[in-house]
Amino acid sequence: MKFLFADSTTRGYGTEQHGAALAIALARRGHTVRCVVRGGSSVEAILYQSGVPCVAVAPGVASSLRLVLRTIALARRERPDWLVTGDGRFHSVFMGLRRLARARVAFFRHWPVVPKSGRTRRMLAYRADRFILVSRFHREEYHRQGMNVARAAVLYNPIDTDLFHPSAEWRAQTRARHGIGASDVLIGYAGRMVREKGIFAMFEALEPVLSEFEHARVLWVGDGRDVDELRARVAGSAHAARHRFLDWQLDMAQFYPACDLIVVPSVGAETFGRVSVEAQSAAVPVVVSDAGGLRETLVPGVTGLITPGGDSGALAAAIRELLADRERRERMGAAGRAWVCANFSFAQIARDFEALLGEDAAGEQRLAAPE
């Protein structure tokens, strides 16, 4: 099949990486894939590194209009079978191209809140050939908010399990680079530094943990509006020297193997939880909150632990439980790697997407149990 993806974002967090990852997964399956993206964006960098052809529109005056015009021109020339986007700016454009290029449209939605516009809700629910959400929770939440999800399908984020993998070399290099000793136990966080991601609940949970485990260290990776407040709280802690901060990294593959566990402590509802799955792909156990779709990113008690969102005491207990048992961490890591490869790999998600596009009615993605 022939696919045309379009995206206007300049950021590079999990939501923005989803479309690029799916485009790469389909290209590796042998499909013809073309993308229109904003020049200089993280999405362009990801696609360029993977060899997927893309048209990059330089930022500047009227760049949004130029993105639309290049998308229209490419669709008319390439005549794709499917037009795919998770970017609402392209909804109307793709619906017009649906007639002009005689292509079908697949619209992804990542936000936990339904669109405010009744026109957009009707377009997604009734007119799009495929309307796709990113977790079962996401579908249930849209239904709870009153949107018609009878035709909405569920497709999880694809993860590059060849890129995100265990590596003793990366572990040693990353730890040495940031002053983490070989015998230290490293707790990692990766994501936006905003209150709703649970960063302050995590900080509160870590205070007693660091007092109890003298070899525990913390590595924070990300940026956001609350990073200065978090840094200030850490600076006032008796354990300040055991924390490290890094800006958000586009290439996170070398970060995960350096960690002994990853914490995803969100207090706001997450539609999915890409960091949790990437970490498990690298054979790192996770401690996640029960915020929305995060529950679907692990096998509780087998590949990681779940705690109530915002409960710093429960979060501390879960972290403490894994820090105290290296063999359990290793078992969880191995189980997590196997589970992610079975359910979220590029090859598997591409097959699931192919099946979804071939269905007359919406389907729900299955999850294989860990062995």
By CB atoms closer than 10 A (0-12, 13-18, 19+), residue 222 is buried
Q: What is the per-residue pLDDT for 368?
A: 55
Specify the pTM. 0.93
* Whole-number pLDDT of residue 7: 92
Q: Give percent of the chain above pLDDT 90.
A: 88
Mean pLDDT value of segment 353-367: 68
CATH 3.40.50.2000 residue window(s) in the chain: 2-158+345-358, 168-343
Which pLDDT value is given to residue 61?
78
Least confident segment among 86-90, 123-127, 134-138, 365-369: 365-369
pLDDT on residue 371? 47
Q: How confident is the model at residue 189 (pLDDT cuts 50, 70, 90)?
A: very high
The arithmetic mean of pLDDT across residues 144-150, rounded, is 96
Mean pLDDT, range 233-249, rounded to an integer = 96
168-343 is classed in which CATH architecture?
Answer: 3-Layer(aba) Sandwich (3.40)
Mean of pLDDT values over 154-176: 97
Could you read off the pLDDT of 81-101 as tens digits, one per residue? Answer: 999 999 999 999 999 999 888
For residue 179, name the pLDDT band (cuts at 50, 70, 90). Answer: very high
Average pLDDT, the chain: 93
Predicted confidence (pLDDT) per residue in 275-331, tens digit = 999 999 999 999 999 999 999 999 999 999 999 999 999 999 999 999 999 999 999
Confidence of residue 363 (pLDDT cuts 50, 70, 90): very low
pLDDT over 70 percentage in the chain: 96
Does the structure show a pLDDT above 50 at 269? yes
With cut-offs at 50, 70 and 90, classify the pLDDT of residue 16: confident
CATH superfamily name and code, 2-158+345-358: Glycogen Phosphorylase B; (3.40.50.2000)
Rounded to a whole number of angstroms, the distance between the first and last alpha carbons of the chain is: 33
